[in-house]
Structure 1
């Protein structure tokens, strides 16, 4: 099991017993407002999602459950290299926890996996995620219309990237 530890968080490989905690995140209308799927209506939907997270083939991606004070609050990782993704329960918003989790994931992606760049796909209405990624050095690389069908609604995308060189240049020390 891979475990990343930050000052306030523990990011670890997902397990089947994370089902209820992740369902609490993925069934939240607020948390999934700009997610790639509608809120999960039942545990079965989350079980399929969690199994896919657990079964990421080695070398293709790396996703982590995020724990704060011993409680699962969401996920952050590179589900498929080099794309980053994250979602936290709304109770955890506004505390800098997403930023802390992203720093751990980016550090591992660049330092351990040797990625040349990390990319992100963000709904343009998701101002908080766009600000967070900008603070980490991500820059816009393009925009796409009607890129995701979420439920019955077409959503647009802003594509972002952070190069290894930009990441290294921005790191203290």
Structure 2
């Protein structure tokens, strides 16, 4: 498949966004002060190898530039300049230490709402990413919606999407556990990617 899905933006994105907690995790909007902790995540080779462009971030300033890519630059006027980028905090870590272990986001809304995430390798294998993504999705689905002419037709449903490297078994496992379905294959430069989608729960 050479083309990607397209879907208009139905959500009205608040600023700042809501926060959400579980027994183990807290999700809150990313702030500039999170740059050092996010650098600790995104500078790791294990994280970078599964994220475009596969190059670990080299500085806190470069991390801030990456953080700016999470701010929406396309879409409805009331969405541009906002973001839905969340810090993942591990509540089992003492408050005197750095609790931020990763981030999860709607990375873009054009041409479709796209999920993005990364987690500190030391926190892998504990179900944190599945839990954090489910929390983010719950917040996203609960946001107010706008009326769009020519919106979903009968039988169609609003969706979010994710692009995942075919070889990234861990990430595809997270998506499956969160209810995503495989849609198609897509090539970006030298990367072979899988396109996944998840329908908005029906009321």
TM-score (norm 1): 0.83
- Flag the structure with more relative contact order, 1 or 2, with Cα contacts below 8 A and sequence separation at least 6: 2
Alpha-carbon deviations, 1:90-139, whole Å to 9, x = none?
A: 01111111011011111112222558111000000100111110111111
Quote the residue 1:151 is aligned against.
Answer: none
Q: Residue 49 of structure 1: SS of its match in structure 2? A: helix
Higher strand share: 1
Match of 1:59 in 2: 79
Task: Report the Cα distance in structure 1 between the residues aligned to 2:100 and 2:127, rounded to whole angstroms.
Answer: 16
- How far 1:52 sits from its partner (Å)? 3.6
- How much does 1:56 deviate? 4.1
Moved more, 1-10 or 18-27: 1-10
Measured in 2, the distance between the counterparts of 1:157 and 1:21 equals 28
Question: Which residue matches 1:21?
Answer: 37
**Runs (5+) with no aligned partner, structure 1:** 149-153
Tell which structure's C-alpha radius of gyration is larger: 2
* Separation of aligned partners in 1, 2:192 and 2:144: 30
In 2: Cα distance, 1:78 partner to 1:6 partner: 20
Higher helix content, 1 or 2: 1
Contact 1:121 1:159 in 2 (8 A): yes
Between the aligned partners of 2:202 and 2:57, the Cα distance in structure 1 is: 38
Q: Secondary structure at 1:157's aligned position in 2?
A: strand
**CA 67–44 in structure 1, closer or farther in 2 if over 3 Å, else same:** same
How much is the aligned-residue C-alpha RMSD, in angstroms?
2.0
